[in-house]
Structure 1
Amino acid sequence: MLVGTWPSDAYSVRFDADRGKRLLVVHPLFDEANKLRHLIVETMRALDVAAIDSALIDLPGTNESLAPLREQSLESWIRAVEEFSKAFRATHILAIRAGAACVSTSLPCLFYAPHSPASQLRSMIRARVLSEREAGREVSREELLAEAEREGITVAGYELSADMVRALQNASVSEVNASTIAQAEIGGAPLWLRAEPDHDADQSEALAARIEALMS
């Protein structure tokens, strides 16, 4: 396993033996990226045993990236995925949950439990409404969302620009060249629903097996 900045200053985790099958992994967005990171890395480790190279690279402004999140847009994430796929010489892309909205490519894509960024944003806004209420400020989800569209917002510790908020609301997932992996195919309760980051070895093995089958 290789870790560090690659390419350029992007932080990455890679299993790379210069093999023919090469998978770029697009992580979930926001807190789901933390909750599923262990699952993702262990899935990549199992794919390495199956002779499939893989790379997980932080989107700009996320995780270990030094780029300010406030300066990112959905378009900048889409461009980053395109650049990363070329740098890694990817033959396939795996996008997880709302990360699927960051993919626009002619490469074969695998979407694991794809999820609407708009739905995730609404959940984060609801959490912000509750925190505002606890602080003594009554504000509705609609009011916060309208404010976010004008000025941006900080939700769940993530500072989002107004452009990002609007883009997340209108984002769609293209199913062209895509195969979907449903959670029911993997088994077990979805890890993104747990309160804290966790891992399930059976799920990572099942996900790796499903990916291997779809890449064959």
Structure 2
Amino acid sequence: MTGLRFQHYDWAGGREAMLRFGPDTGPIVLAALPLFEEANRTRQFACTILRALAGYGIGSVLPDFPGTGESIVATADATVSDQRQAYIGLAQQLGVDTYALSIRSGALLDGDATLAGRWQLSPQSGEELVRDLERARAAAGKPEGEYAGNRLSPERLAALRDAVPRGDGRCRIIRLETDPRVADATYPGAPLWRRSEPDNNIELAQKLAADIAHWIAA
């Protein structure tokens, strides 16, 4: 099967939904969106990348993790540990030829999973994520502890601050040309995760899909 399919996966804490793109055989890309509001701003963009990957014969999945997407777990109740455990469970089900595709803080979720490689777009540390959340909270005039409409406990914030992307092994870091930090490659484009509304960049998505396909083939 090569079309878009709605499926589920099980992990130690329950069951979550996922979208599956492309073929069922061969290498598989496991995509992780950024956490919180940036997920809504980049979902369409990520789906465009995954559809383009199907044109290279590469299958992919875009899962919900606990507290994200359509998960029955409330965002405020989800923990980084649970999200990582769900990631591990799905990666194990997908098999040894599984590659991570993460956008921004999505790179915080795959660190404990066994993967064939990690491809990261503008990976963000947990400390950077919390700073962004604090700035957005202050700009919106929200009380302490309320972030993007969610109440986050001090323990949850502390766990996020301690989280860092895993960059060892086979890892490829991609950034936009406006980002001066070290990267394996850069591409022109605006950071969609900074937009006030969800948006897409089909040309950039196609270029990134080609980058991922060539990286996997190499």
Taking the aligned partners of 2:93 and 2:74, their CA distance within structure 1 comes to 22
The equivalent of 1:191 in structure 2 is 192
- TM-score scaled to structure 1, two decimals? 0.85
Q: 1:125 aligns with which of 134, 146, 152?
A: 134
Select the structure that is richer in strand. Answer: 2
Is the 2:22–2:53 Cα contact (8 Å) retained in structure 1? no
Is the 1:72–1:161 Cα contact (8 Å) retained in structure 2? no
Is the 1:191–1:199 Cα contact (8 Å) retained in structure 2? yes
Taking the aligned partners of 2:104 and 2:176, their CA distance within structure 1 comes to 10
Q: 1:181 aligns with which of 161, 174, 184?
A: 174
- Aligned positions of 1:35-74 closer than 5 A: 35-74=41-80
Taking the aligned partners of 1:29 and 1:109, their CA distance within structure 2 comes to 18
Is the 1:30–1:158 Cα contact (8 Å) retained in structure 2? no
Select the structure that is richer in helix. Answer: 1
- Aligned positions of 1:71-82 closer than 5 A: 71-82=77-88
The equivalent of 2:180 in structure 1 is none
Letter in 2 for 1:157: G
1:5 offset after TM fit, Å?
4.3
CA displacement, residues 128-163 of structure 1 (integer Å, 9 cap, x when unaligned): 223337xxxxx8xxxx4xxxxxxxx32111332332
Taking the aligned partners of 1:119 and 1:158, their CA distance within structure 2 comes to 18
Q: 1:169 aligns with which of 161, 164, 182?
A: 161
Letter in 2 for 1:175: G
Letter in 2 for 1:2: L
Letter in 2 for 1:195: S
Taking the aligned partners of 1:158 and 1:179, their CA distance within structure 2 comes to 32
SS in 1 for 2:9: coil
Structure having greater relative contact order (Cα 8 Å, sep ≥ 6): 1
Taking the aligned partners of 1:64 and 1:99, their CA distance within structure 2 comes to 17
Q: Tell me, yes or no, if structure 1 residue 93 matches structure 2 residue 100.
A: yes
Unpaired runs of at least 5, structure 2: 178-185
1:110 offset after TM fit, Å?
0.8
The equivalent of 2:4 in structure 1 is 2
Which of structures 1 and 2 has the bigger CA Rg?
Answer: 1
1:38 offset after TM fit, Å?
0.7
- TM-score scaled to structure 2, two decimals? 0.84
Number of residue pairs aligned between Structure 1 and Structure 2:
199
1:164 offset after TM fit, Å?
1.5
Is the 2:22–2:60 Cα contact (8 Å) retained in structure 1? yes
Taking the aligned partners of 1:126 and 1:181, their CA distance within structure 2 comes to 25
Unpaired runs of at least 5, structure 1: 134-138, 145-152
CA displacement, residues 94-153 of structure 1 (integer Å, 9 cap, x when unaligned): 1110111111233111111101222222222222223337xxxxx8xxxx4xxxxxxxx3
